[in-house]
Protein backbone atom coordinates (compact mmCIF):
# COMPACT_ATOMS: atom_id res chain seq x y z
CA UNK A 1 0.00 0.00 0.00
CA UNK A 2 2.82 2.36 0.87
CA UNK A 3 4.52 1.71 -2.44
CA UNK A 4 1.30 2.36 -4.34
CA UNK A 5 0.76 5.62 -2.50
CA UNK A 6 4.35 6.69 -3.14
CA UNK A 7 3.94 5.95 -6.86
CA UNK A 8 0.72 7.94 -6.91
CA UNK A 9 2.36 10.94 -5.24
CA UNK A 10 5.33 10.76 -7.62
CA UNK A 11 3.04 10.53 -10.64
CA UNK A 12 0.86 13.43 -9.43
CA UNK A 13 3.93 15.60 -8.83
CA UNK A 14 5.29 14.76 -12.26
CA UNK A 15 1.98 15.65 -13.89
CA UNK A 16 1.80 18.90 -11.91
CA UNK A 17 5.31 19.89 -13.07
CA UNK A 18 4.38 19.05 -16.66
CA UNK A 19 1.19 21.14 -16.40
CA UNK A 20 3.13 24.05 -14.88
CA UNK A 21 5.61 23.89 -17.75
CA UNK A 22 2.73 24.13 -20.23
CA UNK A 23 1.29 27.09 -18.30
CA UNK A 24 4.63 28.89 -18.39
CA UNK A 25 4.86 28.46 -22.17
CA UNK A 26 1.27 29.65 -22.57
CA UNK A 27 1.85 32.75 -20.45
CA UNK A 28 5.04 33.49 -22.40
CA UNK A 29 3.22 33.09 -25.73
CA UNK A 30 0.40 35.51 -24.87
CA UNK A 31 2.74 38.02 -23.27
CA UNK A 32 1.41 37.41 -19.75
CA UNK A 33 -1.86 39.16 -20.65
CA UNK A 34 -3.71 36.57 -18.60
CA UNK A 35 -6.40 36.83 -15.93
CA UNK A 36 -5.73 34.25 -13.18
CA UNK A 37 -9.33 33.67 -12.07
CA UNK A 38 -8.52 31.93 -8.78
CA UNK A 39 -11.23 33.68 -6.72
CA UNK A 40 -9.26 33.22 -3.51
CA UNK A 41 -11.46 33.29 -0.44
CA UNK A 42 -9.25 32.26 2.44
CA UNK A 43 -7.34 33.43 5.49
CA UNK A 44 -4.74 36.19 4.98
CA UNK A 45 -1.72 33.87 5.25
CA UNK A 46 -3.07 31.51 2.58
CA UNK A 47 -4.02 34.39 0.30
CA UNK A 48 -0.52 35.82 0.67
CA UNK A 49 1.01 32.45 -0.21
CA UNK A 50 -1.18 32.11 -3.29
CA UNK A 51 -0.26 35.61 -4.50
CA UNK A 52 3.44 34.82 -4.10
CA UNK A 53 3.10 31.43 -5.79
CA UNK A 54 1.75 32.80 -9.06
CA UNK A 55 4.25 35.64 -9.40
CA UNK A 56 6.72 33.63 -11.57
CA UNK A 57 3.90 33.57 -14.17
CA UNK A 58 3.27 37.32 -13.71
CA UNK A 59 -0.41 37.35 -14.79
CA UNK A 60 -1.94 40.68 -15.73
CA UNK A 61 -4.76 40.19 -13.19
CA UNK A 62 -5.60 37.87 -10.32
CA UNK A 63 -8.58 38.03 -8.00
CA UNK A 64 -9.59 37.56 -4.38
CA UNK A 65 -13.05 37.55 -2.83
CA UNK A 66 -13.87 40.77 -1.00
CA UNK A 67 -15.72 38.59 1.51
CA UNK A 68 -12.34 37.18 2.60
CA UNK A 69 -11.89 40.46 4.48
CA UNK A 70 -9.56 43.42 4.66
CA UNK A 71 -6.48 41.53 5.84
CA UNK A 72 -6.67 39.00 3.02
CA UNK A 73 -7.04 41.79 0.45
CA UNK A 74 -4.16 43.69 2.05
CA UNK A 75 -1.88 40.63 1.83
CA UNK A 76 -2.85 40.02 -1.80
CA UNK A 77 -2.06 43.63 -2.70
CA UNK A 78 1.24 43.57 -0.79
CA UNK A 79 2.37 40.50 -2.75
CA UNK A 80 0.93 41.25 -6.19
CA UNK A 81 4.24 41.88 -7.94
CA UNK A 82 3.56 43.28 -11.41
CA UNK A 83 -0.03 42.00 -11.41
CA UNK A 84 -3.22 43.90 -10.68
CA UNK A 85 -5.51 42.72 -7.88
CA UNK A 86 -9.25 42.49 -8.56
CA UNK A 87 -11.85 41.99 -5.84
CA UNK A 88 -14.84 39.74 -6.42
CA UNK A 89 -17.92 41.40 -4.92
CA UNK A 90 -21.20 39.47 -5.36
CA UNK A 91 -21.15 36.53 -7.77
CA UNK A 92 -23.37 36.97 -10.82
CA UNK A 93 -25.12 33.68 -10.05
CA UNK A 94 -26.55 35.17 -6.82
CA UNK A 95 -30.00 36.75 -7.04
CA UNK A 96 -31.24 39.50 -4.67
CA UNK A 97 -32.93 37.07 -2.26
CA UNK A 98 -29.82 34.91 -1.90
CA UNK A 99 -27.64 38.01 -1.56
CA UNK A 100 -29.87 39.17 1.27
CA UNK A 101 -29.49 35.83 3.04
CA UNK A 102 -25.69 35.77 2.63
CA UNK A 103 -24.67 39.41 3.03
CA UNK A 104 -27.73 40.97 4.69
CA UNK A 105 -28.54 43.38 1.89
CA UNK A 106 -29.36 43.69 -1.82
CA UNK A 107 -26.55 43.29 -4.42
CA UNK A 108 -26.31 46.98 -5.28
CA UNK A 109 -25.57 48.04 -1.70
CA UNK A 110 -23.25 45.13 -0.97
CA UNK A 111 -21.23 45.76 -4.14
CA UNK A 112 -20.80 49.45 -3.30
CA UNK A 113 -19.69 48.57 0.24
CA UNK A 114 -17.20 45.97 -0.99
CA UNK A 115 -15.91 48.33 -3.69
CA UNK A 116 -15.15 50.98 -1.09
CA UNK A 117 -13.29 48.48 1.07
CA UNK A 118 -11.29 47.19 -1.89
CA UNK A 119 -10.29 50.72 -2.86
CA UNK A 120 -9.17 51.47 0.70
CA UNK A 121 -7.01 48.34 0.77
CA UNK A 122 -5.28 49.19 -2.50
CA UNK A 123 -7.00 46.83 -4.95
CA UNK A 124 -6.81 47.82 -8.60
CA UNK A 125 -10.33 46.88 -9.61
CA UNK A 126 -13.54 45.09 -8.80
CA UNK A 127 -15.55 42.28 -10.34
CA UNK A 128 -19.31 42.78 -10.28
CA UNK A 129 -22.35 42.07 -12.38
CA UNK A 130 -23.02 44.55 -15.20
CA UNK A 131 -26.25 45.50 -13.44
CA UNK A 132 -24.27 47.33 -10.74
CA UNK A 133 -22.14 49.34 -13.18
CA UNK A 134 -24.44 52.34 -13.49
CA UNK A 135 -24.63 52.97 -9.74
CA UNK A 136 -20.87 52.39 -9.36
CA UNK A 137 -20.08 54.87 -12.12
CA UNK A 138 -22.07 57.46 -10.16
CA UNK A 139 -19.66 57.19 -7.20
CA UNK A 140 -16.79 59.69 -7.81
CA UNK A 141 -14.53 58.01 -5.24
CA UNK A 142 -14.66 54.68 -7.10
CA UNK A 143 -13.70 55.90 -10.57
CA UNK A 144 -10.05 54.90 -10.23
CA UNK A 145 -11.06 51.25 -9.90
CA UNK A 146 -11.15 49.04 -12.98
CA UNK A 147 -14.59 47.50 -13.39
CA UNK A 148 -14.67 43.97 -14.73
CA UNK A 149 -17.99 42.27 -15.44
CA UNK A 150 -18.87 38.61 -15.86
CA UNK A 151 -22.54 37.70 -16.34
CA UNK A 152 -22.29 38.73 -19.99
CA UNK A 153 -24.91 37.05 -22.14
CA UNK A 154 -25.60 38.06 -25.76
CA UNK A 155 -29.28 38.09 -26.74
CA UNK A 156 -28.75 34.78 -28.56
CA UNK A 157 -27.16 32.98 -25.56
CA UNK A 158 -28.83 31.20 -22.65
CA UNK A 159 -28.47 32.80 -19.20
CA UNK A 160 -27.92 29.35 -17.61
CA UNK A 161 -27.05 29.79 -13.91
CA UNK A 162 -26.38 33.53 -14.25
CA UNK A 163 -28.93 35.77 -12.52
CA UNK A 164 -27.71 39.35 -12.96
CA UNK A 165 -26.78 39.68 -16.63
CA UNK A 166 -26.49 42.09 -19.55
CA UNK A 167 -25.56 41.80 -23.20
CA UNK A 168 -22.00 42.77 -24.21
CA UNK A 169 -23.22 46.01 -25.77
CA UNK A 170 -25.26 46.98 -22.72
CA UNK A 171 -22.33 46.30 -20.36
CA UNK A 172 -19.94 48.41 -22.42
CA UNK A 173 -22.41 51.30 -22.51
CA UNK A 174 -22.89 50.98 -18.73
CA UNK A 175 -19.17 51.55 -18.19
CA UNK A 176 -17.40 48.17 -18.05
CA UNK A 177 -13.63 48.27 -18.58
CA UNK A 178 -13.35 44.53 -19.29
CA UNK A 179 -15.91 41.82 -20.02
CA UNK A 180 -15.52 38.23 -18.81
CA UNK A 181 -17.24 35.97 -21.34
CA UNK A 182 -17.13 32.19 -21.08
CA UNK A 183 -19.89 29.85 -22.18
CA UNK A 184 -21.40 32.09 -24.91
CA UNK A 185 -18.07 31.57 -26.69
CA UNK A 186 -16.95 28.13 -25.53
CA UNK A 187 -20.46 26.59 -25.73
CA UNK A 188 -22.49 28.69 -28.17
CA UNK A 189 -25.96 27.60 -29.33
CA UNK A 190 -25.85 25.33 -32.38
CA UNK A 191 -27.71 27.90 -34.46
CA UNK A 192 -25.01 30.49 -33.67
CA UNK A 193 -22.22 28.33 -35.03
CA UNK A 194 -18.68 27.74 -33.85
CA UNK A 195 -16.87 29.42 -30.92
CA UNK A 196 -15.01 31.54 -33.49
CA UNK A 197 -18.29 32.73 -34.97
CA UNK A 198 -19.65 33.47 -31.49
CA UNK A 199 -16.53 35.45 -30.57
CA UNK A 200 -16.76 37.46 -33.78
CA UNK A 201 -20.42 38.28 -33.15
CA UNK A 202 -19.60 39.48 -29.64
CA UNK A 203 -16.65 41.54 -30.91
CA UNK A 204 -18.92 43.20 -33.49
CA UNK A 205 -21.48 44.01 -30.79
CA UNK A 206 -18.79 45.54 -28.55
CA UNK A 207 -17.38 47.59 -31.43
CA UNK A 208 -20.85 48.89 -32.25
CA UNK A 209 -21.44 49.87 -28.62
CA UNK A 210 -18.11 51.71 -28.42
CA UNK A 211 -19.07 53.86 -31.38
Active site residues: 39
SS3 labels along 44-105: HHHHHHHHHHCHHHCCCEEEEEHHHCHHHHHHHHHCCCCCEEEEECCCCCCCHHHHHHHHCC
Signed CA dihedral, 61, 149, 173, 30: sign only: positive
Q: What is the rounded CA–CA span in Å between residue 202 and residue 133?
A: 19
Nearest to 157 by CA among 202, 200, 127: 202
128 SS3 class: coil
Do the Cβ atoms of 139 and 82 come closer than 8 Å? no
Backbone angles phi, psi at 166, to 5 degrees: -150, 165
Do the Cβ atoms of 161 and 125 come closer than 8 Å? no
DSSP state letter for 40: E
Amino acid sequence: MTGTLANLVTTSWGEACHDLSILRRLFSTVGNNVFWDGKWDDIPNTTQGAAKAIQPLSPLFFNVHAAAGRKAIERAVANKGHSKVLGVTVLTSIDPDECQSIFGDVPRKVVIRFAGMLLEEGADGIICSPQELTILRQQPALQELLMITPGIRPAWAAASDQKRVMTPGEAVKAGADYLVIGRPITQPPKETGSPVTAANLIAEEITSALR
